Amino acid sequence: MSIQITLPSGSQVQNVEGSSMCGVRSYNSWKQFYIGGKRGHNTRPWPAQCRIYGCSNVATLGGHVFCVGENGVWIIPMCGTHNSSGNVNLMTVNANTIAVQVEEENTSGPSGPCYSSSSSSSSSSSSSSSSSSSSSSSSTA
């Protein structure tokens, strides 16, 4: 179950150094991982253009990025120029860019550049208040 976020306008991302060693599992490519569609998952539309603001190149691959303000490693559609390993600049993405989080099960690569092991994905905090008072009502005999 991949987590996806929709980045608001003005969001910044940065290429993950060393992500070229991150193999993808279950899919043929990170582009296919982004699109999804396996195990009953819905598919995501692949955008025609690179999601970096102002770039009109074709989005050819799914690039590993850090998203400012978010934990974890994410995949967004990018062109080969912006996904270059030498490009470590902060890049602004287009509004409503969808980023898909890479989790340990999705990659054969190591923690750090390939996925974040410290991603606090404990969003399901079910606070079940089990304060069932088992105090038997005192029957006045």
Contacts 24+ apart (CB under 8 A), 52-56: 52/78, 52/79, 52/82, 52/91, 52/92, 52/93, 52/94, 53/91, 53/92, 53/93, 53/94, 55/79, 55/81, 55/82
Among 11, 65, 82, 91, binds Zn ion (CB under 5 A): 82
Cβ-based burial of 53 (10 A; exposed 0-12, middle 13-18, buried ≥19): middle
47 near Zn ion, rule: CB under 5 A: no
98 near Zn ion, rule: CB under 5 A: no
Q: Shortest gap between Cβ of 16 and Zn ion (angstroms)?
A: 16
Among 16, 67, 79, 100, binds Zn ion (CB under 5 A): 79
Nearer to Zn ion among residue 83 and residue 106 (C-beta): 83
Q: Shortest gap between Cβ of 117 and Zn ion (angstroms)?
A: 29
24 near Zn ion, rule: CB under 5 A: no
Among 14, 55, 92, 112, binds Zn ion (CB under 5 A): 55
Total of chain residues touching Zn ion, rule CB under 5 A: 6
Nearer to Zn ion among residue 23 and residue 80 (C-beta): 80
| Residues 36, 37, 38: CA angle, nearest 5 degrees | 100
Which positions touch Zn ion (CB under 5 A)? Answer: 50, 52, 55, 57, 79, 82
